Amino acid sequence: MSFISYYFHWSESDVLKLEHAERRRWCSEISVINASLNPSKDKKKEKSILEMQPSR
């Protein structure tokens, strides 16, 4: 949720009002926008936030 709040400057309550599927869609949209604005120099595919695994 903080990912969406950070990029869109939405409040926690606004993000919590969204359904889970809608939050995932917004995360995907943000990741696509970030990838298009900041392409990697070595041309590797950048990971979406949804593809990342938690570090332990």
User: pTM for the complete prediction?
Assistant: 0.60
Instruction: Name every residue whose Cβ is closer than 8 Å to that of residue 34 and which is 6 or more positions away in sequence.
Output: 46
Tell me whether residue 50 is in a domain: no
Range of the domain at 13: 2-36
Cβ atoms of 1 and 7 closer than 8 Å: no
Tell me whether residue 15 is in a domain: yes
Task: Convert the pLDDT of each residue in 1-55 to its tens digit.
Answer: 788 888 888 898 999 999 999 999 999 998 888 888 877 666 566 667 777 777 7
- Which pLDDT score, from 0 to 100, does residue 20 have? 92
Query: What total number of domains does the chain contain?
Result: 1
Tell me whether residue 53 is in a domain: no
- Which pLDDT score, from 0 to 100, does residue 14 have? 92
- Which pLDDT score, from 0 to 100, does residue 35 have? 81
Tell me whether residue 42 is in a domain: no
